Amino acid sequence: MPVQAITPRNGKKTARARRHPEVFTETSPSRAQARTLTGIFLDTGHLPEIQKYHALGIIRGVTTNPTILAKSGLAVGWSGIEDRCRAIARLIDPLPLSVEVTTNEPDDMLAQARAFITWGRNVNVKIPIHGPQGGTENLRLVHELETRQNIRINVTAMMSAQQCLLAAMAGATYVSIFGGRVNNMGYDSRQEVRRLRELLDGFGSTAKIIVGSTREVLNIVEWFEAGADIVTAVPSLLDGMLVHPYSKETVQMFLDDGAKLQAERPRAAKSASTR
């Protein structure tokens, strides 16, 4: 069962909910609670990278898509996808993992969604807002899976607040807007995220805003400031966020002075003992 579905319906928190307040939220949060930030989702299918950043305690979930998985050296075939996703889900449990459907045929999407959630209780299903020709079928499926089959959905590949609003109305747990691609089209992604935040809060929607397609280190904090609940990031951007040249220089100064102190200390100790 996906993690989000474990959220206690009676308002009482389970022991797991108390240990992971960032993942387990109340079923009917107030607006203030709905705005609680969730954090960074790592955008990769590469297991050693996930292991590394998960061990730092700085990620709150993992997102994948077929392109990401194709780049991460999977074994060929469906079993390659399944094995990798099962391994990721196990590693980060109870943090959520998004696995995207690889088809746009409604029956096949439905079958894949049902299969994905058996790969781990923390797996949620990513479904694009529509197919390459547009259409409404994907949203119908999102509504069906969320409201009738209790499967948590991350609606993906969205480029505007209005698309995300419709996905949230259909019942999506997560709505993913691709901020980097929005910027690449010449629009200001921050403005779109702010607009979406206001709309979802106005409607009292509990859908979590994911901003993905991160291109620059600065995107991460600027999208959180604009109202994202979650920002996805590739590992290199997290490194860029963490390491600062002036911090390096400062720490080098501490180490150099520390070494000088240590070199001087034995002499001082010796003269004290001979007194």
Residues acting as catalytic residues? 126
Quote the least distance from Cβ 261 to ligand E4P, whole Å. Answer: 47
Stretch that binds ligand E4P, among 129-137, 177-185, 219-227, 250-258 (CB under 6 A): 177-185
Interaction pattern, residues 194-213, with ligand E4P; x per rule: CB under 6 A: ------------------xx
Of 17, 43, 59, 237, which one interacts with ligand E4P (CB under 6 A)?
A: 43
Question: Rule CB under 6 A: is residue 44 a binding residue for ligand E4P?
Answer: no
Peptide bond into 21 cis (omega under 30): no
| Cβ proximity to ligand E4P, 163 vs 232, nearer residue | 232
Question: Rule CB under 6 A: is residue 232 a binding residue for ligand E4P?
Answer: yes
Question: Rule CB under 6 A: is residue 178 a binding residue for ligand E4P?
Answer: yes
Question: Rule CB under 6 A: is residue 181 a binding residue for ligand E4P?
Answer: yes
Question: Rule CB under 6 A: is residue 180 a binding residue for ligand E4P?
Answer: yes
Quote the least distance from Cβ 88 to ligand E4P, whole Å. Answer: 14
Quote the least distance from Cβ 135 to ligand E4P, whole Å. Answer: 21
Question: Rule CB under 6 A: is residue 4 a binding residue for ligand E4P?
Answer: no
Burial of 56 (0-12, 13-18, 19+ CB in 10 A): exposed
Query: Using CB under 6 A as the criterion, which residues of the chain lie in contact with ligand E4P when the complex forms?
Result: 43, 63, 65, 68, 156, 176, 178, 180-181, 212-213, 232
